[in-house]
Amino acid sequence: METSRISDQLSRSVHGPAWHGPSMEEVLKDVTAGNATVRVCGATHSIAELLLHAAAWARASRLAMDGVAIPEDLPDDWTTLDSLDEAEWTHLRKDALAELDQITAKTAEFPEARLTERVPGRNFDFYFNLHGVAQHTIYHAGQIAILKRQINASA
């Protein structure tokens, strides 16, 4: 079933094993709260902000599966974080990964016949959107991996 295959790809982007390299969870494994909010090049997003951004789009896409339109300007997109303590970072990371897990589970249960339906508020179908969530997660995991290297090299 196609939704099972898409769910598998979502799961691999979050937890691995992934063909491309480390999954989101794997790349976040050793990130500290102090490193999660570092801005490497001044105006770049931090690791925590990239993670929240990926989770925000996963949440919006999951809610769209229940008929909630994805707004043009996602309200919780690109949250700015200047500092976090370890407890806050642990909570943020856990919640964001849980959000990614929720869309993975919902996709596994999603009726295959609905994959060609238009996503509420968008001009594309669920097939495109769900693959996009997996690709989006991988893309930002890659950015986080690069930021980690830059942070560790300058430490």
Q: What whole-number distance in Å separates Cα of residue 8 and Cα of residue 11?
A: 5
Quickly state the pLDDT bin for 108 (edges 50, 70, 90). Answer: very high
Residue 124 pLDDT grade (very low, low, confident, very high; cuts 50, 70, 90): very high
- pLDDT surpassing 90 at residue 135: yes
Find the mean pLDDT for residues 124-134. Answer: 98
Residue ranges per structural domain of the chain: 2-153
Q: Read out DSSP for 26-49?
A: HHHTT--HHHHT--TTSSSPPHHH
3-state secondary structure of 59: helix
The total of other beta-carbon atoms located within 10 Å of residue 28's CB is 21
In CATH, the number for domain 2-153 is 1.20.120.450
pLDDT in tens, 35-76: 999 998 877 899 999 999 999 999 999 999 999 999 999 988
| pLDDT of res. 131 | 98
> Can you read off the two tokens belonging to residue 83?
């500092």
